[in-house]
Structure 1
Amino acid sequence: MKVFEVDEKVDGLVPCRKKPLVVRSKEMNEPFRVNSLEGDYAQGKVGDYLMCGIEGELYICDRNIYNKTYEQV
């Protein structure tokens, strides 16, 4: 199995753009967590967003990432 380092330079990468999909979000005003089907969980903090994806799955998005990549429609 090929293992990549996070800062590794990789030849052959081509430009691409995410499809414009609409998901739902809610800014959280208290710490929270999202349980996974596997039994583990992700922890969210005040200001993070609870996201609901196109398949109905819940996940957490950090506030800074949300502000850079999402806009309300």
Structure 2
Amino acid sequence: MTMPRYRKKPVEIEAVHLSNDTTPAKVAYWCGGRVVPHPEKNYTGGPMVIEIDTLEGTMRAEPGDWIIKGIKGEFYPCRDDIFRATYEEF
């Protein structure tokens, strides 16, 4: 039996990369998230993460991740390797 194949429709999204060039507080404000200490590396001066309330529950964006604003205005985090395999800048 041959299964049907599908292609993702092209959509435009907004996204920001959590890198050394971004300010966590500004990104959290943009996506309605919260900056919190990293739960596994909670020490003074340690990495910060952004918690985002999504339809699937609270998700965490860590340094190196992307935060995507979807086509319906929803926000969610995406790992760097998945983002780069799925999206390209235009």
Q: Is TM > 0.5 for Structure 1 vs Structure 2?
A: yes
Partner of 1:31: helix, strand, or coil? strand
One-letter code aligned to 1:67: R
Matched, 1:31 2:49: yes
Q: Distance in 1 between matches of 2:4 and 2:55?
A: 33
Q: Summarize deviations over 1:38-71 as a string: whole Å, max 9, x none.
A: 7x30011101001000110001111110011110
Change (3 A) 1:37 1:14: closer
Deviation at 1:13, TM superposition (A): 3.1
In the TM superposition, structure 1's runs of 4+ consecutive aligned residues that sit over 3 Å from their partners are: none
More helix by share: 2
Assess if the C-alpha contact under 8 Å between 2:49 and 2:60 holds in 1.
yes
**TM-score normalised to the size of structure 1?**
0.73
Assess if the C-alpha contact under 8 Å between 2:67 and 2:75 holds in 1.
yes
Aligned length: 62
Matched, 1:43 2:33: no
Deviation at 1:36, TM superposition (A): 2.9
One-letter code aligned to 1:70: Y
One-letter code aligned to 1:61: C
**TM-score normalised to the size of structure 2?**
0.60
List gaps (5 residues or longer) in structure 1.
Answer: 1-10
List gaps (5 residues or longer) in structure 2.
Answer: 20-47
Query: Which of the residues 5, 12, 19 maps onto 1:15?
Result: 5
Identity %: 29
